[in-house]
Structures are given as structure tokens and as C-alpha cells.
């Protein structure tokens, strides 16, 4: 299922098509991109190189994502064509849609997958548990059809030989209006005083900060380094820092030259927002914090010992020069 929002195809669409193509080739299947929306021919022509067929369901009522409307169309198509596998993004849209679709159809579903494969007709997946501290290999109950939601950025959107897929118009099966769930509007994120996406140096804090009063300590370090202070989700949930400082899937995506994470465990949602940073330091007293696996340099120590030491060092250098 292709995902798009406000006139743009989302990255997850290309990532799923890339993995879908690999699976289709391996299993002698064909790959179909399914586009639901209104006035979406432009998207369709962008996807023809990445799929064997691009199915387009155009209906004014599909203009904005609506899980109820999407479910009706997907369930009638899956019932009629019985695909081996339906891939949906593990995104705000996919999370709203996939479970209920699966239960309506009685098709096994698993979510937030990092990898998928078929083992003798049975679907095998890899997903994470315990905030990314553990990977799990799981098998789905044997069935003729499966649904899987895919973690964003789990697969690279590879450019292969153009498939030259045909665009197929599919009639909308929405007979009546969607009554139970109605999209009203989008609410834009608030704009703050600091733009973390423009920063070259970011010092980020997480749960390890423990108390709101401790933030000043790290702010001083950020100031000394000429950087800005950012954070992971729990800090914003507690309203210790404004939402525009949050790095991650539901916050900002940053690409600084230097990213220093202090007391952040490194849940996937946070890491997804800073993966493209040039140089990453992770300071955490938990040696098993998943964040270390994406760090260039790791320090297994208490941030409250490292932060003052760093600050002193920088002051020393500045006084000399």
C-alpha cells in the first residue's frame, strides 16, 4: 500500500516496494503498488518503475487518509485477489489501518517488522522488543495471505532496473459515505525559537537527565560548544523542553556534523531522526543501551560525570586561546 500525504509520496512507499520486489522475485510472484487517493495520477507514474503494476483507486472520499475508507477498499481487493502478502507502513496511518483490516479478513498480521522472508510457505519476520534491546525472530500462523507492517527506514529504497509497470484504474468500492470516522484538518507543529534542523552541533538529552533542574547543566555544555540542546520524546512528554526540540519520527529529523547523546537509550523512533548525523557520541551508563550500536564513539559512564568534565575541558581550551 503506497503511502502519501499532502501531495507527497512518503519514503516508506519506496522502501516497501524495494523489499516487495526482492520478495516477489524470490517467490515467483508479481509486485503491485496500490494507490488510494484523489487526483493521484502523478504518483502512479512515479511508481511504474518500481512495480509490475500500479493500481489506482481514485475517489474524492480518499483525498485524505481515513482508516475506515482505506479498510473498506483494501478488504474488498484482498478478498477478490488474495495476495500472498500485503505490506503496509508501520506509520501513523498504517498503525490505524492494519490491525482492524486483518481482523476483518481473518488474515494473520504482525507489525513493525525489520525483515521478512518466506520459509516453506510460512512467513518469518524479524522485529524488536524491549525498546530495541532485543531482536525477535517470529513465525506467523500458516495462511494463504498475510499482512505485515514495515518499520520506516528498515529497508533501503534501492533503484533497480525499471519494471515499467502498467497503470491500472480500479473502481472505488466505497458505496456509501464513511460515517464513523471523519477527517477534519491537519494541525501544524508549533514553531519555536531554535531550529534544531539547522544546527551543526547538537547535544541531546533523554530520560537519563532525571530532573528538569538538571537541564541547565547540559544547556551550558551546548552553549560552550556552540551547539543547541535537543531531546528524545520523554523530555517533551514531561514538558521539560518544547516539542520543536524533539528529535525523532514524531519530531524533527536532523543531520548535524556532531551529535552527542546524553542519557538516551536510543529507541528506534529517536534514532530514525538523527541517523544521518556525521559524527555520533553516545554517553550512557547502561552498556546495553541500543543507541551504542549506531554510535561512532561510545562512553559507558554516568552523564553527570561526563558533562561537567567536558565543560571544564572546553572552558580550559577557550581560556588558553
Partner 1 sequence: MNIIVCVKHVPETAEADIKIDSEEKSIELSGLVFDINEWDNYALEEAVLLKEKHGGTVTAITVGSEDSESTLRKCLARGSDKAIRLTDKRFEESDSYAIAKILHSVIKNLPFDLILTGVQADDVGYAMVGPILAGLLGIPHATMVKKIELSDGASKVNRELEGGLEEVVELKLPALFSIQTGINEPRYVSIMGIRKAMQKEIKVLSLGDLELNKNDVGVAGSWIKIEKIYVPPAEKQTEYIEGSPEEVATKIIEIIKSRGLI
Instruction: Identify the residue among 60, 134, 168, 198 touching partner 1 (CB under 8 A).
Output: 134
d(CA 192, CA 186) in angstroms, rounded, equals 19
d(CA 91, CA 268) in angstroms, rounded, equals 13
Q: Pick between residue 31 and residue 102 the one whose CB is nearest to partner 1.
A: 102
Q: Pick between residue 38 and residue 288 the one whose CB is nearest to partner 1.
A: 288
Closest approach, Cβ 40 to partner 1, in A, equals 19
Q: Pick between residue 171 and residue 320 the one whose CB is nearest to partner 1.
A: 320
d(CA 262, CA 264) in angstroms, rounded, equals 6
d(CA 193, CA 113) in angstroms, rounded, equals 37
Instruction: Give the interface size with partner 1 as a residue count (CB under 8 A).
Output: 99
Closest approach, Cβ 23 to partner 1, in A, equals 19
Closest approach, Cβ 172 to partner 1, in A, equals 21
Interaction pattern, residues 260-289, with partner 1; x per rule: CB under 8 A:
-----x------------xxxxx---xxx-
d(CA 221, CA 314) in angstroms, rounded, equals 9
Touching partner 1, residues 286-315 (CB under 8 A) = 286-288, 290, 292-301, 305-306, 308-310, 312-314
DSSP one-letter string for 193-241: S--GGG-SEEEEE-GGG-SGGGHHHHHHHHHHHT-EEEE-HHHHHTTSS
Phi-psi domain of 300 (left: phi exceeds 0; alpha: psi -120 through 50; beta: other): beta
Closest approach, Cβ 114 to partner 1, in A, equals 9
Sole window of 14-22, 48-56, 164-172, 242-250 interacting with partner 1 (rule: CB under 8 A): 242-250
Touching partner 1, residues 56-115 (CB under 8 A) = 64-65, 67-68, 90-93, 95-96, 98-100, 102-104, 108-112
Q: Pick between residue 165 and residue 248 the one whose CB is nearest to partner 1.
A: 248
Which of 316, 12, 20 minimizes the C-alpha distance to 165? 20
Touching partner 1, residues 25-54 (CB under 8 A) = none
Residues in the chain: 321
Which of 22, 301, 293, 13 minimizes the C-alpha distance to 135? 293
The secondary structure of residue 62, as a DSSP letter, is: G
d(CA 29, CA 176) in angstroms, rounded, equals 34
Touching partner 1, residues 187-226 (CB under 8 A) = 187-190, 200-201, 207-208, 225
Report the relative pairing of strands 122-129 and 109-119 from DSSP bridges: antiparallel
- Work out whether 176 is an interface residue with partner 1 (CB under 8 A): no
d(CA 73, CA 114) in angstroms, rounded, equals 27
Closest approach, Cβ 69 to partner 1, in A, equals 12
Q: Pick between residue 215 and residue 294 the one whose CB is nearest to partner 1.
A: 294
Touching partner 1, residues 1-20 (CB under 8 A) = 5
Q: Pick between residue 82 and residue 238 the one whose CB is nearest to partner 1.
A: 238
Amino acid at each position: 500500500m503506497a503511502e502519501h500525504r499532502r501531495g507527497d509520496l512518503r519514503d516508506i512507499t519506496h522502501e516497501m516496494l524495494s523489499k516487495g520486489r526482492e520478495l516477489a522475485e524470490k517467490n515467483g510472484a508479481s509486485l503491485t503498488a496500490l494507490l488510494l487517493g484523489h487526483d493521484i495520477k502523478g504518483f502512479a507514474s512515479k511508481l511504474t518503475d518500481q512495480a509490475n503494476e500500479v493500481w489506482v483507486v481514485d475517489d474524492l472520499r480518499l483525498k485524505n487518509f481515513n482508516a475506515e475508507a482505506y479498510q473498506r477498499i483494501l478488504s474488498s481487493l484482498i478478498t477478490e485477489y488474495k495476495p500472498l502478502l500485503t505490506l503496509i507502513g508501520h506509520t501513523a496511518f498504517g498503525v490505524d489501518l492494519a490491525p482492524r483490516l486483518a481482523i476483518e479478513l481473518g488474515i494473520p498480521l504482525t507489525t513493525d517488522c525489520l525483515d521478512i522472508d518466506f520459509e516453506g510457505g510460512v512467513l518469518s519476520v524479524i522485529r524488536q522488543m524491549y525498546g530495541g534491546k532485543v531482536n525477535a525472530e517470529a513465525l506467523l500462523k500458516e495462511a494463504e495471505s498475510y499482512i505485515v507492517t514495515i518499520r520506516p527506514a528498515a529497508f533501503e529504497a534501492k533503484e533497480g532496473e525499471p519494471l515499467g509497470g502498467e497503470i491500472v484504474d480500479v473502481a472505488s468500492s466505497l458505496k456509501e459515505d464513511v460515517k464513523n470516522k471523519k477527517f477534519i484538518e491537519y494541525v501544524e507543529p508549533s514553531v519555536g525559537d531554535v531550529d534544531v534542523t539547522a544546527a551543526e552541533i547538537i547535544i541531546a538529552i533523554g530520560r537519563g537527565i532525571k530532573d528538569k533542574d538538571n537541564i541547565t547543566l547540559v544547556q551550558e555544555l551546548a552553549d560552550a560548544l556552540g551547539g543547541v540542546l535537543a531531546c528524545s520524546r520523554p523530555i517533551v512528554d514531561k514538558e521539560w523542553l518544547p516539542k520543536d526540540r524533539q528529535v525523532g519520527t514524531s519530531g524533527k529529523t536532523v543531520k548535524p556534523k556532531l551529535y552527542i547523546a546524553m542519557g538516551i537509550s536510543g529507541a528506534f523512533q529517536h534514532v530514525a531522526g538523527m541517523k544521518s548525523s556525521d559524527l555520533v557520541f553516545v554517553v550512557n551508563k547502561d552498556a546495553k543501551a541500543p543507541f551504542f550500536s549506531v554510535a561512532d564513539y561510545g562512553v559507558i559512564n554516568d552523564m553527570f560525570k561526563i558533562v561537567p568534565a567536558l565543560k571544564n575541558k572546553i572552558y580550559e581550551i577557550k581560556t588558553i586561546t
